[in-house]
C-alpha cells in the first residue's frame, strides 16, 4: 500500500474531524418549510453541519432562501450558497459567474437574520468537450475567473471552490511560476473542496493519496481543503462512488481519512455528494 505522509507542521485540528458538509443541487429540496425541515432533520441524523445549497434560481426567491438559512442556523447548521457551470470557466463566459456573484453579494447585504458563511463555486472545465486538448488554456482561464471573483467579492463571506482531483496533475505556468492547477486554486480563493472521489481511504489511487498534496499545500498558505466523497449510483468507474458499498462502509473509510489528516491544520473536514444520493444510500 502507498504511504501517505502528513506535514510535520501539522497542528491539532479536532474541529475538522467533526466538520461534515453536504452538497444540495436541487432547489426543490428546500421549496417548502416542510422540505427544509426534512433536510435539516436528515442533516442532524448524519451529523452534517454545513450544507452547500444550490442557489442560482433561489436568489430570485430571497425570502425562501433567507428562511432556510435562518432555520439552518437555529439548528447549528451553516450554509454556503452554491453555484456552478463548467462553461463559466471560458473567458467569454466569465461575466455570467461575475453576475451571479454580484447578485449573491446583494442578497447577503440585504439579510436581516442569519447569514450564510460562504459562497461556493463548482466550476469544472474538465466537463467541457475540449478539456483534453486545452487543459492549460482552460486552467488559466479558470484561475483568471477566480481572481476576478475574489476581487469582486463584497459579501464578507469566504469564497470556496471545488477542485477535481485530476487538477493536481495539470501544470499551469503563470508569470513564470509553475504550479498545479489545484495549487493555483488554493492560492486564489479562501478555501477549497477537493472532490477525492474514490471508495477506499488508503493505498494507491485512494482518497488520501489524492488529497495529500492539496491539503499539505493549503496548510502552507494558512488555508484549509475539505475532502469530498461521492455517493451517487450508476457511475463509472464504480470506484468513484460509495453507492455499491453503502453508508457503513463509507463511514469506516471517512474515519480513516479523519485519522490520517485530523491533526493537519490544512484539513477542513469531509463533504458528501450529494443530499439526494446520500439520503438514498443503503445502510
Q: What is the pLDDT, as a whole number, of residue 15?
A: 85
Mean pLDDT value across residues 202-231: 97
| Residue 8 pLDDT > 80 | no
CATH of 15-280 among 3.20.20.80, 3.90.1010.10, 3.30.70.1450, 2.60.40.10: 3.20.20.80
SS3 content of the chain, % helix, strand, coil (to 5): 45, 20, 35
Compute the distance between CA of residue 81 and CA of residue 174 in angstroms, rounded to an integer.
29
Residue 272 CA, chain-centre distance (Å), reads 9
Q: H/E element holding 81?
A: strand 78-83
| Residue 137 pLDDT > 70 | yes
Domain ranges of the chain: 15-280
267-273 and 158-164 strand pairing: unpaired
Model confidence pLDDT, tens digit, residues 60-91? 999 999 999 999 999 999 999 999 999 999 99
Residue 2's pLDDT band, with cuts at 50, 70 and 90, is very low
Q: What is the pLDDT, as a whole number, of residue 154?
A: 86
Model confidence pLDDT, tens digit, residues 183-202? 999 999 999 999 999 999 99
Q: What is the pLDDT, as a whole number, of residue 14?
A: 53
Exposure of 88 by Cβ count < 10 A (0-12 exposed, 13-18 middle, 19+ buried)? Answer: buried
- Per-chain mean pLDDT for the chain: 94
Among 52, 50, 152, 55, residue whose Cα is nearest residue 105: 152
Residue 118, φ and ψ in degrees, nearest 5: -160, 160
Mean pLDDT value across residues 210-229: 97
Exposure of 179 by Cβ count < 10 A (0-12 exposed, 13-18 middle, 19+ buried)? Answer: middle
What percent of the chain clears pLDDT 70, i.e. is strictly above it?
95
Mean pLDDT value across residues 266-275: 98
Mean pLDDT value across residues 98-125: 97
Residue 1's pLDDT band, with cuts at 50, 70 and 90, is very low
Beta bridge partners, 180, equal 171
Q: What is the pLDDT, as a whole number, of residue 13?
A: 46
Residue 80, φ and ψ in degrees, nearest 5: -110, 135
Amino acid at each position: 500500500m502507498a504511504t501517505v505522509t502528513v506535514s510535520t507542521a501539522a497542528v491539532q485540528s479536532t474541529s475538522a474531524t467533526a466538520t461534515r458538509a453536504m452538497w444540495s443541487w436541487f432547489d426543490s429540496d428546500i421549496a417548502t418549510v416542510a422540505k427544509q425541515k426534512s433536510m435539516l432533520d436528515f442533516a442532524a441524523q448524519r451529523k452534517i453541519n454545513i450544507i452547500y445549497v444550490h442557489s442560482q434560481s433561489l436568489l430570485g426567491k430571497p425570502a425562501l432562501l433567507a428562511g432556510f438559512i435562518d432555520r439552518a442556523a437555529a439548528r447549528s447548521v451553516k450554509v454556503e450558497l452554491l453555484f456552478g457551470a463548467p462553461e463559466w470557466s471560458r473567458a467569454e463566459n466569465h461575466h455570467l459567474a461575475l453576475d451571479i456573484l454580484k447578485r449573491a453579494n446583494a442578497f447577503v447585504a440585504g439579510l436581516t437574520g442569519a447569514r450564510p458563511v460562504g459562497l461556493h463555486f463548482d466550476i469544472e472545465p474538465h466537463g467541457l468537450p475540449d478539456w483534453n486538448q486545452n487543459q492549460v488554456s482552460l486552467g488559466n482561464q479558470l484561475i483568471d475567473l477566480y481572481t476576478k471573483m475574489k476581487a469582486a467579492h463584497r459579501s464578507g463571506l469566504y469564497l470556496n471552490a471545488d477542485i477535481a482531483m485530476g487538477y493536481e496533475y495539470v501544470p499551469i505556468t503563470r508569470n513564470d511560476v509553475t504550479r498545479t492547477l489545484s495549487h493555483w486554486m488554493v492560492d486564489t480563493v479562501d478555501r477549497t473542496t477537493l472532490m477525492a472521489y474514490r471508495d477506499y481511504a488508503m493505498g494507491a489511487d485512494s482518497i488520501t493519496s489524492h488529497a495529500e498534496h492539496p491539503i499539505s499545500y493549503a496548510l502552507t498558505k494558512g488555508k484549509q481543503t475539505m475532502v469530498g466523497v461521492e455517493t451517487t449510483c450508476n457511475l463509472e468507474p464504480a470506484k468513484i462512488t460509495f453507492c455499491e458499498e453503502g453508508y457503513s462502509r463509507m463511514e469506516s473509510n471517512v474515519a480513516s481519512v479523519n485519522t490520517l489528516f485530523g491533526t493537519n491544520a490544512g484539513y477542513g473536514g469531509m463533504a458528501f455528494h450529494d443530499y439526494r444520493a446520500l439520503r438514498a444510500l443503503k445502510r
